[in-house]
Structure 1
């Protein structure tokens, strides 16, 4: 972030996205050149147990998918038209039942190179082909869509190295099952996994909808360290302006301001996606979980406000930089003007006595040239003129 060349490189990287082939059949899945190898991980948990498995082979994953598909189909699911009395009766029966709570499964896929694996997952759980196409063609806007048996949510997970970038996280919420697809290995979801391992809070006693909320919340909260990073950068630039005036500060501020604008745009996309999710009120999301999703909206609002504040800070630092630069230029010009003001009368005196009129032609032609003290007189006259100007400038507090 310290050079304009780095900014242009980051801009090219940010605009290079996988997209559907021109003229391709809608819903077709195509492996892209930059896709990473696919790795699957399954976490199954309930209030009483937690199991974390790394699925090493496609066959092992397919076996696991078949078992999960059977469980999902066997589970009774609330529908939008279900009777409230029936739901209340089922809820009361669930409270009185001594059977252990049904487990929730989180299936996470890192890397999108294996499109056959994605097709298999889609076929097992009835995921819409258009949604799977959005999974493969990363670079989609954050959004949420409702399908017959699932909710499809796209999130933009932040990464900060030498520039701001986002990774697409695609989330499917089914009854008792959450499926996430990520572009790369490594994410900001480790706090969620840690809560599952240590049974922190209510996450192990809630359903798949609460797990989906926890993932969304972790992605949104991941933007606050990004803003803290920009805050440190702006603080360092402010110190540099006070101490010195590096020439690359305007370029760095332009880069930071562009990144902050990207943060704001992504935050607005997430706000729109959550508003759509809350407005549709899917039967897959419990009422209590909707309250937590509204809290995510508050985080997004704060995120947008903070991004706007830092963008304004960029503008203020830019104005301060040019004001300091202008003041520094004015100081240099002031010194040069004072020097010129002092030496202009001396130059005039030297010019007068350098005209070399012939005194033999007329006694009025510079008789001082023939004085024995003519040179000391000229030097003394210059010194007195310069000293008088210095005294005058100090009296006026210009020096």
Structure 2
């Protein structure tokens, strides 16, 4: 029993692929619209304030009292308040009340997994976009952006984002970020989110090219499994990119005074990037579908080759088996001249082997002439 137990323990365990399922936290059934409920497993919030103006910039990390925002922002043309972590619904509600955000918009902030969208309010705009904080689709999180002509408020699920290029431009004193309004800063953040998808899609393009070469070289079952996984990931990504494109397009088409004409021209370039991402993903989906069909065709062709070879081998041995069975019936030629007189031949054994060899070679020559074994 001990040996059996050791054998069982040594058996490799089948790995189970964990599927990522996006769960949207919602208020209890029957709750009033705009009810704010935070996820107890969410990250604790961390506030970062950046204020910009003609005299430069200033940053405040942590320990920010919302009551001091007016004082901290006094004398600066615009501010960016970044809230990373959504574990405290009270903090999100307090921020919303201070800036006049609609309760339904705040509910969407806490209920992560929302569809990308753009909402227009009298004194601000509200955008929800999915963000990739790495070259892996599983590293996706929701980002909510409120902005007007004087402020930008962002809510993220957890630390880690694609805003470092924007922060570096602020630290370097980028002229556009300082001279233009907060709507341009919001554009820069939205553009960074959209451009954050390109590394993932470029990496996926390279992986698809490698898979195509491997499939053409030799088709294996592991390749088919990986292609199905990738196609599922691409299909899930397309479900994000379609509404993301529409959300950016809504900003381009709006006539809101919050967005200047100059910023809308920049957003038009971001819309082009979103369309390019969508086209790349659709190309990946079509390519993977074609590779799956190619893989199945190659596997079927290889199976047919094996079946053809076995059929040919069986066909060659059918007459040989018939002769061996015929001469193996052990009739006695001394009893009657009709009882296999060839069994008494002096060279009967080599004659039988030679006849079998001639039949086998003749069949091989015939199959090759017909093209069943290939042609010279």
> Please, what TM-score do these two structures have when normalized by structure 2?
0.89
- Taking the TM superposition and a 5 Å limit, the aligned residue runs for 1:277-296 are 277-296=251-270
Q: Equivalents in 2 of 1:171, 1:129: separation in Å? A: 15
1:374 deviates by 1.8
1:63 deviates by 3.9
Q: Equivalents in 1 of 2:137, 2:151: separation in Å? A: 35
* Partner residue of 2:190 out of 216, 233, 244: 216
1:250 pairs with 2:261? no
Q: What runs of 5+ residues in structure 2 fail to find an aligned partner?
A: 1-13
1:358 deviates by 4.1
- Per-residue CA distance 1:312-362 (angstroms, 9 max, x = gap): 110111122112212221222232122222222211111221233343443
Residue 69 of structure 2 is matched in structure 1 by 65
Instruction: Work out whether residues 133 and 162 of structure 2, in 8 Å CA contact, stay in contact via their aligned partners in 1.
Output: no
Residue 7 of structure 2 is matched in structure 1 by none
- Per-residue CA distance 1:59-85 (angstroms, 9 max, x = gap): x3324324368x5xxxxxxxxxxxxxx
Instruction: Work out whether residues 19 and 138 of structure 1, in 8 Å CA contact, stay in contact via their aligned partners in 2.
Output: no
Deviation larger for 273-282 or 376-385: 273-282
Deviation larger for 277-286 or 108-117: 277-286
Residue 316 of structure 1 is matched in structure 2 by 290
Residue 365 of structure 1 is matched in structure 2 by 339
1:19 pairs with 2:26? yes
- Taking the TM superposition and a 5 Å limit, the aligned residue runs for 1:313-352 are 313-352=287-326
1:40 pairs with 2:56? no
Q: Equivalents in 2 of 1:21, 1:244: separation in Å? A: 53
1:111 pairs with 2:85? yes
1:50 deviates by 1.9
Q: Equivalents in 1 of 2:45, 2:22: separation in Å? A: 24
Q: Equivalents in 1 of 2:137, 2:256: separation in Å? A: 37
Instruction: Work out whether residues 164 and 259 of structure 1, in 8 Å CA contact, stay in contact via their aligned partners in 2.
Output: no
Residue 169 of structure 2 is matched in structure 1 by 195
1:165 deviates by 4.8
Instruction: Work out whether residues 65 and 124 of structure 1, in 8 Å CA contact, stay in contact via their aligned partners in 2.
Output: no
Q: Equivalents in 2 of 1:255, 1:20: separation in Å? A: 33
1:386 counterpart SS class: helix
CA distance 1:200–1:219, change in 2 (3 Å): same
- Per-residue CA distance 1:90-124 (angstroms, 9 max, x = gap): xxxxxxxxxxx952211000000021211211121
Q: Equivalents in 2 of 1:201, 1:267: separation in Å? A: 31
Which protein has greater RCO, CA pairs closer than 8 Å, 6+ apart?
A: 1
Instruction: Work out whether residues 144 and 152 of structure 1, in 8 Å CA contact, stay in contact via their aligned partners in 2.
Output: yes
Q: Equivalents in 1 of 2:249, 2:326: separation in Å? A: 85
Residue 51 of structure 1 is matched in structure 2 by 58
CA distance 1:277–1:4, change in 2 (3 Å): farther
Q: Equivalents in 2 of 1:45, 1:342: separation in Å? A: 87
- Per-residue CA distance 1:156-200 (angstroms, 9 max, x = gap): 112456654521100011231100000010001111111111133
Q: Equivalents in 2 of 1:4, 1:313: separation in Å? A: 27
1:137 pairs with 2:111? yes
> Please, what TM-score do these two structures have when normalized by structure 1?
0.84
Instruction: Work out whether residues 149 and 182 of structure 2, in 8 Å CA contact, stay in contact via their aligned partners in 1.
Output: yes
Q: Equivalents in 2 of 1:133, 1:291: separation in Å? A: 31
Residue 272 of structure 1 is matched in structure 2 by 246
Residue 37 of structure 2 is matched in structure 1 by 30
Q: What runs of 5+ residues in structure 1 fail to find an aligned partner?
A: 72-100
Q: Equivalents in 2 of 1:275, 1:386: separation in Å? A: 73
Instruction: Work out whether residues 245 and 321 of structure 1, in 8 Å CA contact, stay in contact via their aligned partners in 2.
Output: yes
Q: Equivalents in 2 of 1:372, 1:392: separation in Å? A: 32
Q: Equivalents in 1 of 2:225, 2:183: separation in Å? A: 44
**Superposition CA RMSD, Å:** 2.1
Q: Equivalents in 1 of 2:337, 2:48: separation in Å? A: 111
Q: Equivalents in 2 of 1:158, 1:213: separation in Å? A: 17
